[in-house]
Amino acid sequence: MHIGVTGAAGFIGSHVCERLLADGHRVLGLDAFTRFYARELKESNLAALRRAPGFELAELNLLDTAALVPALGGLDAVCHLAGRPGVRRGSPAIYEAGNVQTTESMLAAAAEAGVRRMLLASSSSVYGRVEGRVTEDAPRRPLSEYGLSKLRAEEVAARLAAELGIELVVLRYFTVYGPRQRPDMAFARFVNAALEGGSMPLLGDGAQVRDFTYVGDAAHATALALERGRDGGVYNVAGGAPATLAHAFDLLGGELGRSPAFDTRPADGRDPRSTGADLGRARRELEWRPRTSLADGLALQAAHAAAAAV
């Protein structure tokens, strides 16, 4: 297939592009190169992709529907990963534009360009405060403006896809980590503090539980969902073995051979105490399961960071 990937220069997007190319697809990467994090980091994410046969890159504003239409022409599907991330870094208006309005624009442009299938990246943040492993049919009660915007993006996408005749698949990612992780995310900040010196901000006591997902597993799930996900299907994508943040930091410090000092701060009420995904639907319908343990995934992230620091 010929597949468009928005947010192609980002953390998850660059890995998804690599996976799709490895599976034999052609990929059109789309990225607006917003200032959320440095362009040089995104260019580094793209370094291998720019040399890969079958990959093209278009720098476009995803809110410019008129410019998107010709770019999307001839595509079989679009994987919409771009958005405004971060639970604590944005106003409601920024989240609305970055997550909801871009989704509206992409669906409108895809329909006009004749694209008939779209995958939308969502987040475990739509669930809010839950106990145990959550299924895709659980109530969605987001705690943050970010989570609310991802929920609104899902709802807008479902309505527009039905109106425009586009097949829609939604993935809810749970705490993705691995090489090239965004610099604002916890493991990347831990690594930077350990290698460069300085303290690591720690919100709460470290006993928060997360269903950490290795980025290679997330990319594999995304590729399978593009091909196998049913129209209207929603799928959890997670590591399948929830662990505390403190345990993950211990593993990461062991791989790096050092750990930074922690600057402990109060927990943020916009973060759930625990996340955990029921992966039954993804196993049955996508024939996907996570393959990378937290220890192995963190070893890969630490090795990548250490090599980049040389």
By annotation, the residues acting in catalysis are 146
In the block, tokens 């592009």 appear at 17
Q: What's at 114, amino acid-wise?
A: G
Tokens at 206, concatenated: 């470290």
* Whether the Cβ atoms of residue 273 and residue 129 lie closer than 8 Å to each other: yes
Radius of gyration of the chain (CA): 18
Task: Compute CA 57 distance to the chain's CA centroid, rounded to the nearest angstrom.
Answer: 19
The distance from CA 206 to its chain's CA centroid, rounded to whole angstroms, is: 23
**Backbone phi, then psi, for 233, in 5-degree steps?**
-75, 140
The DSSP annotation for the chain comes to: -EEEEETTTSHHHHHHHHHHHHTT-EEEEEE---TTS-HHHHHHHHHHHHTSTTEEEEE--TT-HHHHHHHHTT-SEEEE------TTS--HHHHIIIIIIHHHHHHHHHHHHT--EEEEEEEGGGTBS--SPBPTTS--B-SSHHHHHHHHHHHHHHHHHHHHT-EEEEEEE-SEESTT--TTSHHHHHHHHHHH-SEEEEES-S--EE--EEHHHHHHHHHHHHHHPPTT-EEEE--SS-EEHHHHHHHHHHHHT--PEEEEEPPPTTS-SB--B--HHIIIII-------HHHHHHHHHHHHHHHH-
